[in-house]
Amino acid sequence: MKPLELSAANFERFIRNNQMVLVDFWAPWCGPCKRFAPVFELAAEAHEGIAFAKVNTETQPELARTMQIASIPTLVAFKNGILVHSKPGALKAAALERLLMKLQKPVDPPSLPRRE
């Protein structure tokens, strides 16, 4: 599925309503963003269990500030509404695939110390 364009109006709802979300913060003038866009779109088509979205930092500057986006492109990932990844830089297809596999691994809950 093609990534959904998010705005301040639908960002939180989208994050809450999807178990796994990957968001690309980008801008139309950004060369690395333009090169990364087709990689991101192909990954979105290949991973139906992940919700892919994009945020145009030019039209959504407040949202970019709220998410502390200082450089673009920046990939941000959420699991069950919790921020689990935020890193700037355009990835090649293989690196994005590795990140997606890592993000999909279940996380073991922390174990409590044993009482004796």
Query: Active-site residues: which are they?
Result: 30, 33
User: Residue 88: which H helix or E strand, with range?
Assistant: strand 82-88
Cα–Cα distance between 39 and 43 in angstroms, integer? 6
Token reading at 114: 């044993």
